[in-house]
């Protein structure tokens, strides 16, 4: 039996039943990484020795009678999340060689549960991108078609799970960077409510928007990973001190009477017809399962793209000012301090430089009120739209992305076209709600399509359950990526 074909929860059951061990599962994943990841390029670093040691420890714990939720499960971590003793670059040359002396809160939770950390996954530099083409190291391919992008910025994590190189993975979602790659790679990707998962130990991009999320091949897999890593953290001032429900127990599949809102603004001119057809068919399936479908409006969501690209770059310009070659990362000496700064910061890639300049301009004297200040006001209007909608419905259903995965290089020279890949996911981050993507079909070229389900603040259990009900009534999630073969029409 090829252990990598099992889902996370299937592997957990197999280990609990004594059918296999963590060491066997970890070796199977490491062997597969050797076999296919030179083509996919999902990992920036593979911690094979550490992973096998953790697997042996997990098997020993199980032999002693322990049974924590992720005991012995091999998982991957996006390389923007700090890992003690393991290089963490954020996909940037300016952090090359940075080895954190501590684990991020979520990594510590993974280790406490007995998870095996396989390695660090590729990412757009500082999580700024929608395709993983902005990584300073290499571009990750989509396991469904290596000539196409896996999405971004958490494309490495998505590709690792879709390519069966990990049983689950952590990513981050600032404007859609978990949900959009999940859609492109036929995965379930959850972006929880802002503050639901601690950001302590996550390298900052835009602090009011960043949020850790989880990837799995099924809703149950995604939920199991979320259940372990969620929770209050006193080290994170934005962490929500709220009780953590049993999300796995909430996956009943019963959605009778649930009110599902369908926003007209999320079905726009120019979106791929196959995407609209698949998403509308998925909404019809929810009706068949007993949900009530209601047309709603989110009128200010049309401004989400310009609002995001004022707020996020402004916060990025402040957060990235710390990378000056003085405290950590490479230092390129100049004749004086200013030249040292300039030479060192030249290590930033083109997209990061673009966003720093955009953000600095938006915050500069004479322009703050006209750009950044106005963007904050419109952000409030977007949030109010969602609050009004959730007085009428329980969940909002929409496309995750307007298209399926695009070709590598197709949008590199057109930043606006690249930014439009996240047009349907940005409003969730701006409104501080929660959302996920669940597989809902394929286009004519065999590329995955995702259904986005959006819930109110702290309503992760609701969107996970409706996704679970849909998943169990369909079979899209059961199809495995060819890992290297080009999709055919």
Active site residue 401: no
| Per-residue pLDDT, 60 | 98
More confident residue, 280 or 419: 280
Confidence of residue 180 (pLDDT cuts 50, 70, 90): very high
> What pLDDT, in 10s, does the model give residues 250-296?
999 999 999 999 999 999 988 999 999 999 999 999 999 999 999 99
Per-residue tokens: 108: 């510590």
pLDDT of residue 85 exceeding 60, the answer is yes
Does 407 reside within a domain?
A: no
Confidence of residue 41 (pLDDT cuts 50, 70, 90): very high
| Per-residue pLDDT, 487 | 45
Active site residue 120: no
d(CA 118, CA 302): 40
State mean pLDDT over 479-487: 72
State mean pLDDT over 375-392: 98
| Per-residue pLDDT, 327 | 78
d(CA 369, CA 356): 18
Does 19 reside within a domain?
A: yes
> What pLDDT, in 10s, does the model give residues 236-255?
999 999 999 999 999 999 99
Q: Buried b vs exposed e over 334-365: b needs ≥16 C-beta within 10 Å? A: eeeeeebbebbbebbbebbeebbebbbebbee
Does 466 reside within a domain?
A: no
State mean pLDDT over 300-319: 96
d(CA 11, CA 22): 9
Does 416 reside within a domain?
A: no
**Which residue among the candidates 22, 177, 198, 301 is catalytic per the annotation?**
177
Active site residue 177: yes
State mean pLDDT over 371-377: 96
Confidence of residue 461 (pLDDT cuts 50, 70, 90): very high
CB 301 within 8 A of CB 433: no
Does 210 reside within a domain?
A: yes
pLDDT of residue 361 exceeding 90, the answer is yes
Domain CATH number, residue 168: 3.90.1300.10
pLDDT of residue 489 exceeding 70, the answer is no
**Which residue among the candidates 21, 153, 301, 437 is catalytic per the annotation?**
153
Confidence of residue 324 (pLDDT cuts 50, 70, 90): confident
Does 144 reside within a domain?
A: yes
Range of the domain at 51: 3-258
| Per-residue pLDDT, 325 | 84
What is the number of domains present in the chain?
1
State mean pLDDT over 38-47: 98
Does 178 reside within a domain?
A: yes
d(CA 445, CA 404): 9
Give the residue from 480, 415, 351, 425 showing the smallest Cα distance to 181.
425
Mean pLDDT value across the chain: 96
Does 8 reside within a domain?
A: yes
Q: To which residue do tokens 């530099």 refer? A: 125
348 DSSP 8-state letter: S
**Which residue among the candidates 78, 131, 183, 317 is catalytic per the annotation?**
78
State mean pLDDT over 451-458: 98
pLDDT of residue 486 exceeding 50, the answer is no
User: If 0-12 CB within 10 Å is exposed, 13-18 middle and 19+ buried, where does residue 264 land?
Assistant: exposed
Cα 407 versus chain centre, distance = 20
The fraction of the chain above a pLDDT of 70, given in percent, is 99
| Per-residue pLDDT, 187 | 98
């Amino acid at each position: 039996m090829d252990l990598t074909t099992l889902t996370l929860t299937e592997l957990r059951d197999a280990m609990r039943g004594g059918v296999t061990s963590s060491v066997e599962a970890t070796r199977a994943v490491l062997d597969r990484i050797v076999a296919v990841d030179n083509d996919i390029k999902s990992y920036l670093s593979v911690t094979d020795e550490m992973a096998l040691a953790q697997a042996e420890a997990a098997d020993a714990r199980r032999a002693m009678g322990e049974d924590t939720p992720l005991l012995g499960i091999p998982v991957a971590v996006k390389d923007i999340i700090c890992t003690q003793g393991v290089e963490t670059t954020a996909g940037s040359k300016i952090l090359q060689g940075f080895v954190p002396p501590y684990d991020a809160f979520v990594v510590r939770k993974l280790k406490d549960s007995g998870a095996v950390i396989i390695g660090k996954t590729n990412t757009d530099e500082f999580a700024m991108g929608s395709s993983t083409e902005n990584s300073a190291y290499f571009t990750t391919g989509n396991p469904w078609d290596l000539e196409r992008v896996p999405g971004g910025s958490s494309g490495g994590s998505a590709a690792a799970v879709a390519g069966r190189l990990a049983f689950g993975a952590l990513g981050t979602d600032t404007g859609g960077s978990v949900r959009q790659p999940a859609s492109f790679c036929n995965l379930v990707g959850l972006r929880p409510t802002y503050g639901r998962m601690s950001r302590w130990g996550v390298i900052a991009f835009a602090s009011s928007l960043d949020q850790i999320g989880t990837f799995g091949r099924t809703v149950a897999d995604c939920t199991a990973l979320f259940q372990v890593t969620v929770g209050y953290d006193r080290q994170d001032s934005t962490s929500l001190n709220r009780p953590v429900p049993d999300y796995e127990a909430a996956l009943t599949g019963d959605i009778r009477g649930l009110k599902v809102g369908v926003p007209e603004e999320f079905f726009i001119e120019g979106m791929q017809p196959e995407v609209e057809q698949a998403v509308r068919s998925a909404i019809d399936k929810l009706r068949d399962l007993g949900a009530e479908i209601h047309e709603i409006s989110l009128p200010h969501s049309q401004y989400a793209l310009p609002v995001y690209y004022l707020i996020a770059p402004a916060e990025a310009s402040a957060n990235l000012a710390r990378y000056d070659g003085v405290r950590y990362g490479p230092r390129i000496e100049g004749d004086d301090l200013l030249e040292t700064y300039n030479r060192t910061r030249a290590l930033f890639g083109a997209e990061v430089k673009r966003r720093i300049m955009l953000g600095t301009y938006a915050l500069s004297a004479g322009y703050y009120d006209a750009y950044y200040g106005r963007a904050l006001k419109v952000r409030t209007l977007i949030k109010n739209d969602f609050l009004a909608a959730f007085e009428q419905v329980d969940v909002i259903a929409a496309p995750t992305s307007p298209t399926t995965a695009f070709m590598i290089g197709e949008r590199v020279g057109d930043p606006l076209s690249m930014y439009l890949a996240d047009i349907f996911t940005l409003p969730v981050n701006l409104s501080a709600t929660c959302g996920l993507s669940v597989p809902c079909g394929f286009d004519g070229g065999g590329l995955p399509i995702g259904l986005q389900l959006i819930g109110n603040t702290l309503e992760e259990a609701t969107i996970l359950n409706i996704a679970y009900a849909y998943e169990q009534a369909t079979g899209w999630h059961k199809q495995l990526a060819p890992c290297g073969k080009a999709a055919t029409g």
